[in-house]
Structure 1
């Protein structure tokens, strides 16, 4: 369930490359109270700072304990003397990323549910929706958007990118529907409304272009 890597940075970096969705505990060679939990893709445990020499991950005062699951690392911690607190702390950057992913997954589920209701029910909700996306703070600001707006925008597009006019590049694994992304023409962060009149369904390329092109 877990793997201790001591004195072998190459082996450690290979493990990271093979387990991009895994987890790592960074601890001292003494296995004392410093046991910080990270995600595999956290820069603080996969990229040496410019002033550091090679070998800093596992070949000097630190070791790394790796697992595909957090439960595996909890077991390691208990096996090595932890009684109540398995980790001394959790990396703040990794916590933020986990929270953002959870918010994304929850909203995706709401959109899926909104897509399954009949069109008249969805339009009734849209008629009573004022378009003001309420924000909430989860380390960063996210917006509580209407899943009905997303579902209706995707239905309007009917699998065709509303910018380039090409078919959606692939279908979703979850339900086989054409994969397009809903973009706000006037960003919510600039007081744009979360309404059908301010949304457009885009293929991933056009969506990236809208943000970064």
Structure 2
């Protein structure tokens, strides 16, 4: 029996179709937020301040983003779309064409690198997003890993194992490991590699 081709993975939530003025306001808010981050760091991000910097009403900022977590995801959007395009359609082993175990490892390590590159914004996005793991790219990551784990053909509970692997990479966990446990990035990376070796 032919295996049914799975539906394509959704990319990170894209902005809905907007009127021209709404799209301009969104762009102004994003640019203002980037200026604030460049000057004051992520700690300076607040929707009220971003609205003032952008020259739009505070209500407009809240209607567009809802909370500062959603704004943080908007600032991550360009990098996130590139990452998702890489694991959906880029060259192997991150993209299609490599065995599933190699793709799983490549995905986990690439996601760890991405978290480290955008540390403060990703931490803010996860901490402040109203829907937590249901926000941003997590559902796409989980579905992608679940399919790769199923392709291993080892009878693993793929959705559960995918959630465990992603738990190792959540900004909150990595932040705790760094600040509270005082684990350096190399030690964290070695630990993740050890877990992957045991699984794969």
Return the structure number with greater strand share: 1
TM-score (norm 1): 0.29
- Structure scoring higher RCO (CA < 8 A, sep ≥ 6) equals 2
